[in-house]
Amino acid sequence: MTTISTSMPVLFIGHGSPMNAIEDNAFHRSWRELGQQLPRPRAILCISAHWQTPGVFVTGSQQPETIYDFYGFPQALFDVRYPSPGDPALARRITDLLAHEHADVDTTRGLDHGAWSVLCAMYPAADIPVLQLSLDRRKNGAEHYQLAQALMPLRDEGVLIIASGNIVHNLALFRFHDFAPLAWAQRLRELVNAHIAQRSHAVLCDYTALGADAALAINSAEHYLPLLYALGLQRDDDEVGFFNDEVLSAISMTSLLIAKPTVAG
């Protein structure tokens, strides 16, 4: 039997459709189980595909609002509230760690669905402070990876870091009435998974060089880039566990748990 060590794990979550927040499906259930099994964090930092900025920002609101950054979904999804507290002191700590990036605090930004759609399953009581870190749209893959490494001390300070996106994400080619995986999406998922397992992080940072399948799968890089934050936070003695590792048409739900396992006494 294994348990997770006191150093907080890192997650990459393939969040997929916002409906996963309220549907009783395998993805929602897996997130709920994570919340029950992982060490309880003192705070959560989420890097979501859905907050891109020129520069690096972290949310600093005392009470971040729930953002509905989508349309065309049932009213039940818009009725969801995730009233978690913020943590302005932690926001300042993060900007200190990212001083070389000239990171700043945004006191008005709330939580987008890349964060709350997952967290409402993991921690439904919404009683853990949640912050978000933006994706600087000016950076390349290697620069995002390097930025993530500066956040490493947070893992030893009780902060659970969740990167939320999708390795394969092409809504333009998504078949809404046929979820069978498209061949190029399946191939790219398998290629990326192999590089993750081999810890070939430099290859994954240079994602534009991964070939024609990557050009289709990562046609809009904001959903892929959170993966590089999770990988940038991997330590030498961490193991990577894959879950929800499937492709729905042109979206990969592949998710990662990065943690140092310890043998229970």
The pLDDT value recorded for residue 120 is: 98
**Domains of the chain, each with CATH number or no CATH:** 2-263 (3.40.830.10)
Closest residue by Cα to residue 76 from 18, 22, 29: 22
> What angle is formed at CA 124 by the lines to CA 26 and CA 20, rounded to 5 degrees?
30
The pLDDT value recorded for residue 262 is: 65
**Conformation bin of residue 124: beta by default, left when phi > 0, alpha when psi is -120 to 50:** alpha
The interaxial angle of helices 141-149 and 225-232, nearest 10 deg, is 40
What's the longest Cα–Cα distance across the chain?
A: 51
Closest residue by Cα to residue 102 from 170, 43, 56, 134: 56
Yes or no: say if 36 and 124 are a contact pair by the CB < 8 Å rule.
Answer: no
Alpha-carbon span 227 to 148, nearest angstrom: 10
pTM: 0.95
pLDDT string in tens for the chain (265-residue length): 233 447 999 999 999 999 999 999 999 999 999 999 999 999 999 999 999 999 999 999 999 999 999 999 999 999 999 999 999 999 999 999 999 999 999 999 999 999 999 999 999 999 999 999 999 999 999 999 999 999 999 999 999 999 999 999 999 999 999 999 999 999 999 999 999 999 999 999 999 999 999 999 998 899 999 999 999 999 999 999 999 999 999 999 999 999 998 655 4
Per DSSP, what are the bridge partners of residue 136? 53
The pLDDT value recorded for residue 220 is: 85
Alpha-carbon span 136 to 139, nearest angstrom: 6
